[in-house]
Structure 1
Amino acid sequence: MSTLARQDTRPELALRSELHSRGMRYRVQVVVPGNKRRRMDIAFTKVEVAVFVDGCFWHGCPAHGTRPATNREWWDWKIQRNKDRDEDTNRLLAEHGWQVVRVWEHEPAEEAAVRIQQVVEARRRPS
């Protein structure tokens, strides 16, 4: 598992490319406030919008998540732990005023970019 890509995955690169083509500028691998061991996949720092591209297997996608047949109990524990960490990260970011957008790896980059762009633009507008 340690050899698996944790950043710059194909879905993440596709999304970043789509966001960039829309003129959106962002930072990558920004530290989550309140937990220096966690990082945002994509961050719009000026408007405090964090984007995470979650893998269907590792984060338990309800539509595409699968579990190996062997050692099923351990995999259930592992994936639940990932989901719990995601929830904790969302909570930490919310406490610091950030809005979180989570994208599944199977989502088309164009659709995800539209959703992200709407969130970013809404946060740019004065309230």
Structure 2
Amino acid sequence: MGYMADNLTKEQRSKTMAKIKSKWTKQERTVHLCLNKKKIKHKMHPKIKGSPDLIIPEKKMAVFLHGCFWHSCKRCFVEPKSNRKYWINKINGNKKRDSKNKKVLVKNGWEVAVIWEHQIKRNLDKACCRLTK
């Protein structure tokens, strides 16, 4: 794992982090529009156990849209240099929750798919097509 320098002050970082939303992120809006364009029926932010970002009901597929930093993508994750203990605990907690949520969904008969932030950025069409197979 590499390290990422933080070029912001603690106050600037705090303001930036406070603006991060948990619903209707840029990733979610982008995938939602792509699925609509492809006429793939889906529901965003469904209220089901396991809390996926979206579901495709006719395929009984639950989909998570993971940010590469927040969910520790093996391909893109760069460990922060500042406040390392906090971030490692936070990200490990996210990964533990991800695993628990996936198990709950599978137990309830859902197929689970994960689309990573870098996949959306690199080839949105391909990422969305994965959900139709």
Task: From the two aligned structures, give the one with the greater strand fraction.
Answer: 1
Q: Per-residue deviation at 1:7?
A: 1.6
* Equivalent residue, structure 2, for 1:113: 128
Q: Once superposed, what is the RMSD of the aligned Cα atoms? A: 1.4
SS, match of residue 8 in structure 1? coil
Q: Distance in 1 between matches of 2:24 and 2:126?
A: 19
Structure 1 Cα separation of the partners of residues 19 and 80 of structure 2:
19
- Structure possessing the higher radius of gyration over alpha carbons: 2
1:91 — aligned with what? 103
Q: Name stretches of at least 5 consecutive residues in structure 2 with no aligned partner.
A: 1-16
The structure with the largest helix share of the pair is 2
| Amino acid across the alignment from 2:81 | A
The alignment-based identity, stated in percent, is: 29
Question: What is the TM-score normalised by the length of structure 1?
Answer: 0.82
Which letter does structure 1 place at the counterpart of 2:90?
K
Q: Using structure 2 for the length normalisation, give the TM-score.
A: 0.79
Distance, in Å, in 1 between the alignment partners of 2:96 and 2:127 is 23
1:3-47 Cα distance to aligned partner (Å, 9 max, x none): 3111211122111111111111111111232xxxx5221111233
- State the alpha-carbon separation in 2 of the partners of residues 23 and 40 from structure 1: 20
Q: Which runs of 4+ in 1 moved over 4 A?
A: none
Q: Deviations over 1:77-120 (max 9, x none)?
A: 110110110010000000000011100011122111111111xx
Cα displacement (A) at 1:48: 1.5
- How many residue pairs get aligned? The number is 114
